[in-house]
Structure 1
Amino acid sequence: MTRIAMDARMLGEGGTGVSTYARSLAAALVRIADAPLVVRSDGARRARLLRALPPGARRLVPGGGHGGISEGLVGRDIFRVAQVHFDLYGRPLPLRAPGPPGIMHWTYPVPLRLLGWRNVYTVHDAIPLDQPDLTPINVRRHARLLRAIMRDAAAIVTVSDDARGAIAAATGCDPAFVANCAQPVILPCEPPPPPAEFAPGSYFLFCGSIEPRKNLARLAAAHRASGTALPLLIAGPDGWRAEEVTAAIAAGGGHVVRLPYQGRDALIGLVAHARALLFPSLAEGFGLPVAEAMALGTAVMTSAGGALAETAGGAALLVDPQDIAAMAGAIADLGRNDALVADLAERGRVRAADFSLDRFAARLRRFYDGLPAPRAT
């Protein structure tokens, strides 16, 4: 069986979609690989520039695993050093690992490559390249980084057909070089109850980072215009330009409640017991909150077109995210039409089956089996 490794860079406890993806990938690798490996850093931070200066390969040594994977390969501060190395030389930092080569799956476009291995990189979206006003990422550097990792990569992985097309168009690569393996939804068997002050079905919910891309100012205005008596709860951490988004929401008034930090279990409980999830984001690579809400049997309103409509797969109420009146009408319908809410919940459960861990693992296995032979180094 071919050795398969992934990086630990995003295997934290954070609630971002990228971190959730990394944890899901680890869970899938445990199912499909005999002895998966995780590449991690020892966390040292001193003299980063000096360690990045030598142009040669760094060596990884055997070490403990992480994120549910028992075996690991460890390098000294490799993730931070790689960023400085890329700024100096414009190419990924090469790594050498003991033992036979295999497949190295990087969960993010990090400037690292494992020599002799088939390196694949998950690129979650093309937003920094085709909608740069919606992200704080340095567009020029990100474009250089993608070109650099693509030169030696065996393939690029992404999470939707929409993202696949956007990545190919933005980078000029062959669309066949980018594979869509989607993203799984992993949830507890029994979601916890919502907070005591919110009865099941008595609120609408948005969950995600507070930033312009999430379209919260328009959502709050649409909620106010809908005339619904149900409050809109907003659960998520501050993101890029959160202060101005929060100020715009507050200036409009209405029954909008910004919740304090919610742990993973509490957030799942909020989603599971909401009247509906409202997620009219302006741009996403996949839209994990939509898939999770459907899996939990919660009705969803989300954006028409793009990755969100693809993920919804006909099982959500779709709206133009730029049209406040259209969103207001959809919110009003969700607030008063029990039959609509029940129908969306049922269709959502069916659609969410496509995002099970088993199906994700099967897609990954087919993807790995179809990779070209490793390049000579």
Structure 2
Amino acid sequence: MTRLSIGIDGYNLALPRGTGVATYGFGLTETIREMGHSTLGVFGVDVGTRTETRELFFYDRIGRERLPETRRQRRRRIRREWLQMLRGATAAQVPMTDRVEKGAFAEKLPAFDRLVSLDGLFEIADRRLRHLDSFLTLHVDNPPDIMHWTYPVPVRLAGAKNIYTLHDLVPLKLPYTTLDRKGDYLRLIRHCLTSADHICTVSESSRNDILQLFPDVPANKVTNSYQTAPVPSDLLDRDAAEDARFVEGMFGLQHRDYFLFFGALDPKKNLVRIIEAYLTSQSKTPLVIVGARHWGTEQESRLFGGGGIALYGGPTAQGIRQLDYLPRSILLRLARGAKAVLFPSLYEGFGLPALEAIRLGTPVISSTTSSLPEVVGEAGLLVDPYDTNAIAEAIRALDTNPAIAQRLIDAGPAQIAKFSEAAYRQRLAAMYARVLQA
């Protein structure tokens, strides 16, 4: 394929703490670069008005909350945003120089070839969708051939083919598990499906959901590209014993002697049943839970009442440890040394933590629902996520029978091969070629 310019949004990349979609965006950008294409990062960070300070402000403000404003500043900003909402908006070019030391962002931001940013881009777009029922048109100098939005956002880039990745339709399939305003979400998805040049998704399960819930969408407009598990090669090449010593020294956990859950603490992750099943199993192996608390809703927040693990308002047994958000490099080391990763989610568009665990050589307990059988295959124990006893039986099996764990580990390489970087590049190349030819 001819060398292309492809834009990637920074909607999730700019969040203070990582998300699965941020990992997806990071991996997508790196894959596009490996394919020989140039990349443009499109962000909503305030970089000011002066060209010479835009790079400085971008790296100062990315991942942070908006700076405090005076009443006058806030009025001016809102007036400006309303004008941009009505007329369309233009993002400013952010110079790429060596003036700012960027080593601290190596795990957070891909190495974009170009950067543009508009203060409040995604908030302005949301306002336009609510008030005018249409997407915001964004302009940039020298637009890319393709703009690949990694998330359903109400923005369309002028001068480019616009692709939107819909990871799942959980707010429509399991409306009781998210805090989205369902009417607004449905309208957003309908606009994505009608205005997009193409729709990308990450599993056959999600593709089927899209085509079933929106039967007017042509099947050839929706591509399942899957995704890969972007585990750093230096971690995979490193002796596992080195990571084991690191985890023991930092957390006091022995290699293959703890179960691990990691991910956003939202209802579809099924954390209540995971904890119930762990307690029911009567395992003496610790359960480590890694997740940011702010994702929880009322039921999940009760799990962490009083600053420690609690179940339905009462304290649990001593085997459960909670860790807050961890940098990705440390989290992957922790996953590499676990006896198993517990990921029996109610519903997933893809289920990246499960694939990451398999790539690291760690057994997985996962679900028979949604995309997870596609992702986990024979490299995990699949259970009904609504059946606490089934989850507990799987925990007991891996806790007491090393042969089962070894069977799952041995099945890992064949499963990972289905989601290799080479296969991902081929699927993306085919999708981009089809979009440009349409």
**TM-score tier (shorter):** over 0.9
Task: Establish whether residue 302 from structure 1 lines up as the match of residue 366 from structure 2.
Answer: yes
Residue 240 of structure 1 corresponds to: 296
Task: Establish whether residue 50 from structure 1 lines up as the match of residue 113 from structure 2.
Answer: no
Residue 17 of structure 1 corresponds to: 20
Compared CA separation, residues 76 and 206, structure 1 to 2 (3 A): closer
Letter in 2 for 1:93: L
Deviation at 1:372, TM superposition (A): 5.2
Paired residue for 1:157, among 160, 175, 200? 200
**SS at 2:424's partner residue?**
helix
Task: Establish whether residue 78 from structure 1 lines up as the match of residue 121 from structure 2.
Answer: yes
Aligned partners of 2:392, 2:258: CA distance in 1, in Å? 15
Residue 257 of structure 2 corresponds to: 202
**SS at 1:313's partner residue?**
helix
Aligned partners of 2:283, 2:365: CA distance in 1, in Å? 15
Residue 220 of structure 1 corresponds to: 275
RMSD: 2.1
Aligned partners of 1:318, 1:42: CA distance in 2, in Å? 42
Q: 1:331-370 counterparts in 2 under 5 A?
A: 331-370=395-434
Deviation at 1:230, TM superposition (A): 0.9
Deviation at 1:91, TM superposition (A): 0.8
Compared CA separation, residues 25 and 86, structure 1 to 2 (3 A): same
Letter in 1 for 2:291: G
Residue 211 of structure 1 corresponds to: 266
Letter in 2 for 1:227: Q
Q: Which moved more, 1:269-278 or 1:4-13?
A: 4-13
Residue 6 of structure 1 corresponds to: 8
Letter in 1 for 2:377: G
Q: 1:75-224 counterparts in 2 under 5 A?
A: 75-99=118-142, 102-172=145-215, 173-188=217-232, 189-190=234-235, 192-193=243-244, 194-196=247-249, 197-224=252-279
Determine which structure has greater relative contact order: mean sequence separation of CA pairs < 8 Å that are 6+ residues apart, divided by chain length. Answer: 1
Compared CA separation, residues 227 and 34, structure 1 to 2 (3 A): closer
Q: Which moved more, 1:128-137 or 1:68-77?
A: 68-77
Q: Which moved more, 1:29-38 or 1:108-117?
A: 29-38
Q: Sequence identity of aligned pairs in percent?
A: 33
Compared CA separation, residues 42 and 305, structure 1 to 2 (3 A): closer
Aligned partners of 1:140, 1:244: CA distance in 2, in Å? 28
Letter in 2 for 1:365: A
Q: Which moved more, 1:192-201 or 1:38-47?
A: 38-47
Q: Which moved more, 1:100-109 or 1:7-16?
A: 7-16
Aligned partners of 2:349, 2:302: CA distance in 1, in Å? 24
Deviation at 1:265, TM superposition (A): 1.8
Letter in 2 for 1:307: S
Residue 322 of structure 2 corresponds to: 258
Letter in 2 for 1:117: A
Deviation at 1:10, TM superposition (A): 1.9
Residue 95 of structure 2 corresponds to: 64
**SS at 1:306's partner residue?**
coil
Aligned partners of 2:94, 2:168: CA distance in 1, in Å? 32
**Does structure 1 retain, via aligned residues, the 8 Å contact 2:270–2:344?**
yes
**SS at 1:36's partner residue?**
strand
Compared CA separation, residues 321 and 233, structure 1 to 2 (3 A): same
Number of aligned residue pairs: give it.
374
**Does structure 2 retain, via aligned residues, the 8 Å contact 1:52–1:82?**
no
**SS at 1:62's partner residue?**
strand
CA deviation vs aligned residue, 1:20-39 (integer Å, no higher than 9, x gap): 11111110121224322222
Deviation at 1:96, TM superposition (A): 2.2
Aligned partners of 1:113, 1:58: CA distance in 2, in Å? 11
Q: Which moved more, 1:123-132 or 1:92-101?
A: 92-101
Q: Which moved more, 1:284-293 or 1:146-155?
A: 146-155
Letter in 1 for 2:25: A
**Does structure 1 retain, via aligned residues, the 8 Å contact 2:378–2:408?**
no
Residue 31 of structure 2 corresponds to: 28
CA deviation vs aligned residue, 1:38-71 (integer Å, no higher than 9, x gap): 2223426744542343422322343336631121
Q: Which moved more, 1:30-39 or 1:307-316?
A: 30-39
Letter in 2 for 1:180: N
Residue 311 of structure 1 corresponds to: 375
Structure 1 spans left out of the alignment, 5+ residues: none
**SS at 1:335's partner residue?**
helix
Structure 2 spans left out of the alignment, 5+ residues: 48-65, 67-73, 97-108, 237-242, 305-309
Residue 283 of structure 1 corresponds to: 347
Task: Establish whether residue 37 from structure 1 lines up as the match of residue 40 from structure 2.
Answer: yes
Q: Which moved more, 1:164-173 or 1:310-319?
A: 164-173
Higher normalized helix content (fraction of residues): 2
CA deviation vs aligned residue, 1:299-318 (integer Å, no higher than 9, x gap): 11101131111110222111
Aligned partners of 2:431, 2:231: CA distance in 1, in Å? 24
Q: If the length of structure 1 is used for normalisation, what is the TM-score?
A: 0.92
Letter in 2 for 1:22: G
Aligned partners of 2:228, 2:413: CA distance in 1, in Å? 14
Compared CA separation, residues 363 and 48, structure 1 to 2 (3 A): farther
**Does structure 1 retain, via aligned residues, the 8 Å contact 2:202–2:224?**
yes
Compared CA separation, residues 53 and 309, structure 1 to 2 (3 A): same
CA deviation vs aligned residue, 1:135-165 (integer Å, no higher than 9, x gap): 1111110110111222221111111111111
Aligned partners of 1:176, 1:308: CA distance in 2, in Å? 24
Aligned partners of 1:269, 1:36: CA distance in 2, in Å? 29
